[in-house]
Amino acid sequence: MAFDLRTFVKSRPFIYHFSDRANVPRLRRLRYIQSAAELLRLSGQERLIRQRRAKPVQVTINGETVILRDQAPLIFANAALAPGWNTEDFTAHLNEHVYFWPGDLEGPVKAGTRLHDHYLEDRPAVLRVPTADLLVTNSGQAPLFCPFIAGAPRKQFGIAVPRRPDLFLPAAEFPRTAGKVVELVFGRTVNLPETTKLSVLPGIWDEL
């Protein structure tokens, strides 16, 4: 059940991204977000792209510290991988993307809120971006969509859930309605528009 991007923007007018607070100065200076894989390449840690992060990983890029969030919710036993796809392939595929949670002015969809609450003790930084502005600013690459949390597979009725290379699909191929999108992703690098807001304290939003 495909949808067009205008329908998605109307349904989910804001989009959210979570990051470690230590990354805020870099985000403010560069005004773009890079995937975990891209950051690992820049730091000379390519070997980690295919490895699940059991805990946060700190890397250094040009003398600047960047912290990559753990992948604790990535439980391989809960995922039925496509033939020819192993856990390293799956992990690398996840790491090549930048993740956003759709929502409205009050916050992200329920799945995004749950993930935020999971890391609440770490006091993550939250970026809030008008969806339309994010899409315009990144018009050179098509957004992709997922109807579940790609990196947090959970068994359904005791059965492992499918995880395949077509995890993320363009709007024209998405199998559900715009309101069923749980994750919006881009590959490698995402530019942040001037309208991006930052929150490091709950309920308080500042310019990025």
DSSP 120-160: GGG--EEEEEEHHHHHHHTTTS--EEESS-TTS---BTTBP
Write down the mean pLDDT value for the chain.
93
By residue range, what is the domain housing residue 182?
A: 5-18+73-199
177 part of a folded domain: yes
Q: What is the pLDDT of residues 65-124, one digit of tens each?
A: 999 999 999 999 999 999 999 999 999 999 999 999 999 998 898 776 666 566 656 678
d(CA 109, CA 131): 14
Query: Given a cut of 90, is residue 201 above it in pLDDT?
Result: no
- For residue 64, what pLDDT band results from cuts at 50, 70 and 90? very high
Percent of the chain with pLDDT over 70: 95
190 part of a folded domain: yes
Looking at the chain, how many residues does it have? Answer: 208
Q: Which residues pair with 191 in a beta bridge?
A: 32
72 sits in the region (left: phi over 0; alpha: psi -120 to 50; else beta) called: alpha
24 part of a folded domain: no
Average pLDDT on 20-41 reads 97
206 part of a folded domain: no
44 part of a folded domain: no
171 part of a folded domain: yes
Query: Given a cut of 70, is residue 2 above it in pLDDT?
Result: yes
Question: What confidence score (pLDDT) does residue 116 get?
Answer: 59
Question: What confidence score (pLDDT) does residue 119 get?
Answer: 62
Single pTM value for the model? 0.93
Question: What confidence score (pLDDT) does residue 208 get?
Answer: 92
68 part of a folded domain: no
CA torsion, ordered 108, 111, 114, 119, to nearest 10 deg:
-80
More confident residue, 201 or 40: 40
Question: What confidence score (pLDDT) does residue 110 get?
Answer: 79
- For residue 202, what pLDDT band results from cuts at 50, 70 and 90? confident
116 part of a folded domain: yes
Q: How many domains does the chain have?
A: 1
Q: What is the pLDDT of residues 140-179, one digit of tens each?
A: 999 999 999 999 999 999 999 999 999 999 999 999 999 9
